[in-house]
Amino acid sequence: HTIEETKIGIALAKETGANVDTVRLGCLLHDIGKVVEGEEGSHVEIGVQLLKKYRIPQNVIDCVEQHHEDIPFTSNESMLVYISDAISGARPGARYENYEEYVKRLTKLEDIAKSYKPVREAYAIQAGREVRVILNPDDSSDEDVIVLSHTIKERVQKEMTYPGTVTVTVIREKRAVDVAK
pLDDT at 110: 96
Instruction: Quote the pLDDT of residue 95.
Output: 55
Identify whether the C-beta of residue 78 lies closer than 8 Å to the C-beta of residue 67.
yes
Q: How confident is the model at residue 70 (pLDDT cuts 50, 70, 90)?
A: confident
Fold category of 99-171 in CATH: Alpha-Beta Plaits (3.30.70)
Residue 97 has pLDDT above 90, yes or no: no
- Lowest mean pLDDT segment, chosen from 4-18, 40-54, 95-109, 151-165: 95-109
Task: Say if residues 68 and 83 touch (Cβ distance below 8 Å).
Answer: no
Beta bridge partners of 167: 130
Residue 41 has pLDDT above 80, yes or no: no
Predicted local distance difference test score (pLDDT) of residue 150: 97
What per-residue confidence (pLDDT) applies to 17? 96
- The helix or strand, by DSSP H or E, that contains position 168, with its residue range, turns out to be strand 167-171
Classify 45 as helix, strand or coil. Answer: helix
Mean pLDDT within 73-83 = 94
- Give the integer Cα–Cα distance in Å for 160 and 114: 15
CA dihedral 150, 152, 153, 154 (to 10 degrees): 90
**What pTM value is reported for the model?**
0.52
Contact 1, 88 (CB under 8 A): yes
65-74, 114-123, 169-178: least confidently modelled range: 65-74
Domain boundaries, the chain: 2-90, 99-171
Residues in a beta bridge with 22: none
**What does the alpha-carbon distance between residue 117 and residue 115 come to, in Å, rounded to a whole number?**
7
